[in-house]
Amino acid sequence: MNTSAPNRTSKTDIAKSYFRRVDGGDFPTEYFTADFEFYVPKFGIGRGVSSFFEMARGVQATRVHGHHHYDSLRFIEAGDILVVEGTTEGLGRDNVVWCGGKTPGGRFCSVFEFDERNLIRRMYIYLDPDFTSADKDRFLWGQRSQVEW
């Protein structure tokens, strides 16, 4: 993790780079504090890189590939907080495709909190980890009369 002088790169540029690098299989540890906290539904709260990699291995086990839709990401910045809303698409290990906005899975919202050096100290990711909607037995609404994703 980076412990040097403050980073002058914008929070939005850091987040954009984070999504691209993660999609490419590279977790940018230099963007994070050593003890950063993160949250992912069904995983819970984790701290630090080793815990993040544990979570990522679980996600990777469910899919062949996936990526974020960079051109449609929405950024809302307030002080040391950056909220990013967007969509993803990919192929699950069950050979089912998902695409946020076209299928039930694939929409997300990530909340980043930065420290005084512009390093990420907290990242909460809100999404349904059932990207391909395999868990239909627990859908609360059954068949809807009108569906829009």
SS3 for 103?
Answer: strand
**pLDDT in the model for residue 5:** 58
Whether 42 is in a domain gets the answer yes
Q: What percent of the chain has pLDDT over 90?
A: 72
Give the integer Cα–Cα distance in Å for 111 and 84: 6
pLDDT of residue 6: 61
**Is position 142 within any domain?**
no
Look at residue 137 and tell me if it is in a domain: no
Higher pLDDT pick, 13 / 8: 13
Q: Does residue 40 contact residue 111 with C-beta atoms inside 8 Å?
A: no
Backbone angles phi, psi at 20, to 5 degrees: -65, -45
What is the maximal distance between C-alpha atoms in the chain? 56
Please indicate, yes or no, if residue 1 is contained in any of the structural domains. Answer: no
Q: Please give the pLDDT value at position 10.
A: 96
Tell me, what CATH number does 126's domain have? 3.10.450.50
Residues 81, 111 contacting (CB under 8 angstroms) = yes
Rounded Cα–Cα distance for residues 60 and 30 (Å): 22
Q: How many CA atoms lie within 13 A of 42 on its CB side?
A: 10
Domain that holds residue 18: 11-132
CA distance 92 to 89: 10
Task: Say what the pTM is.
Answer: 0.89
Local confidence band at 2 (pLDDT 50, 70, 90 cut-offs):
low
The number of folded domains in the chain is 1
pLDDT in tens, 116-125: 999 999 999 9
With respect to residue 63, please indicate whether it lies within any of the assigned structural domains.
yes
**Residue 140 included in any domain:** no
* N residues, the chain: 149
| Structural Rg of the chain based on CA atoms | 16
